[in-house]
Amino acid sequence: MAGEPQADCLFCKIVEGKIPATVVRETATTLAFRDINPQAPTHVLVIPKAHYPDAASLAAAEPLVAADVLTEAALVAADEGLSERGHRLVFNTGAGAGQVVFHAHAHVIGGRGLQWPPG
Ligand code: 5GP
Ligand code: ZN
């Protein structure tokens, strides 16, 4: 069923506490934790607790939870002192865009200069 935990999903295991993570924020619908391989001084992943493979499928099925992910991403940025300094939200979608974990997640990246356009 859509949104149900997937046994083979790394981020579902983090939600279930089966794999440890450095959690920075949690709500009823979302979890935010530090990326294990940070690409910047701040690199936090914000995920829906429900399993959807990418941001598009999350938004189509549960738009209110998709909004929760954006709200939490903004609060992570604020907690990290990046509201005014600037930060980047990234939803890699599909293998061709570099997505490797197929549980929807926002990258909150900041704390250094960020190039545009991205690679
Ligand atoms: P993607 O490339 O799918 O957009 O991003 C997946 C992210 O998950 C990568 O930045 C990667 O470093 C991170 N990641 C992969 N495995 C783990 C893990 O076990 N724990 C944490 N905290 N992050 C992970
Ligand atoms: Zn999952």
What lines the ligand 1 site, CB under 6 Å?
Answer: 10, 19, 21, 33-37, 92, 98-101
Kindly give the pairing relationship between strand 42-48 and strand 87-90: unpaired
With H, G, I as helix, E, B as strand and everything else as coil, classify residue 58: helix
User: Which residues are tagged catalytic?
Assistant: 105
pLDDT of residue 119: 81
Is the confidence at residue 116, as pLDDT, over 90?
yes
Mutate to test the pocket of ligand 1, among 33, 36, 76 (most ligand atoms within 8 A of CB): 36
pLDDT of residue 36: 98
Domain boundaries, the chain: 23-41+63-88
The residues pairing with 87 across neighbouring beta strands, listed in sequence order, are 110
Question: Rounded to two decimals, what is the model's pTM?
Answer: 0.98
* 17-64: pLDDT as tens digits: 999 999 999 999 999 999 999 999 999 999 999 999 999 999 999 999
The residues near 44 (Cβ < 8 Å, ≥ 6 apart) are 24, 32, 33, 34, 35, 76, 80, 107, 108
CA–CA gap between residue 82 and residue 100 (Å, rounded): 26
> Of all protein residues, whose CA lies closest to atom 21 belonging to ligand 1?
36
